[in-house]
Amino acid sequence: VVQYRDRFIDFDCGVFLNIHPEHIESHGSFENYLAAKLKFFDNVATKSRKKEKLFIINSQDKENGKFASVANGFGKIIKFNSAEVNPPLFKNWVDSDFNLENASAAISVALSLGVSKEKIISALASFKGIAGRMEFVIKNPFEVVVDYAHTPDSMKAVYSSLKKMRPGKRLICVFGSA
């Protein structure tokens, strides 16, 4: 948004998952980063020429009210909560809280756009996950997981998810770049 990459795109939908102070280096402050995310919602609300606009907002993030305020009066606002999603339906890849949050947002968007629950369940059940995101590349004789987490918050999410998924197992983390 700060680089105007969203300009001249008539979005149907804006989605707010969460906000963490991860990208402040390119924004200068958390407040500027929050303002940039809110600006995207404002651009969808006021600049998109679509007649029906949709705003999907994570009700579990403490900033959700600000996003709802920006979208209010410009389209349909739907708040989602990942605690309401049934992960056993797609257990093959939703082993972490952030994947559950992503799946919850995707389900909310799909349902709002008229995709049937059956098609959503089928798609999620056959989805193997995204390469490099909590990807188990070796299962035996020990497990190796690749994740491209690169910020303190994202690394914390990966490690806490792995600890939760594999209680009592030793966790050896190697991080860096090649």
Tens of pLDDT, residue by residue, the chain (178 residues): 888 898 899 999 999 998 877 767 778 888 999 999 999 999 999 999 999 999 999 999 999 999 999 999 999 999 999 888 766 656 555 556 667 888 889 999 999 999 998 998 888 888 777 788 888 888 889 888 888 877 777 788 888 888 888 888 888 888 776 5
Interatomic CA distance for residues 55 and 5, integer angstroms: 19
66, two tokens = 């600000």
Helix, coil or strand: residue 126? helix
Instruction: Identify which of 51, 50, 123 has the alpha carbon closest to the alpha carbon of residue 93.
Output: 123
Helix, coil or strand: residue 172? coil
State pLDDT tens for residues 112-136: 999 998 998 888 888 777 788 888 8
Q: Residue 27 phi/psi, 5° resolution? A: -115, -15
- pTM, two decimal places: 0.79
Bridge partners (DSSP) listed for residue 35:
none
Strand arrangement of the beta sheet that strand 54-58 belongs to: 13-16, 54-58, 76-80
Bridge partners (DSSP) listed for residue 78:
56
What is the DSSP track for 40-80? Answer: HHHHHHHH---SS-EEEEETTSTTHHHHHHHHTTSSEEEEE
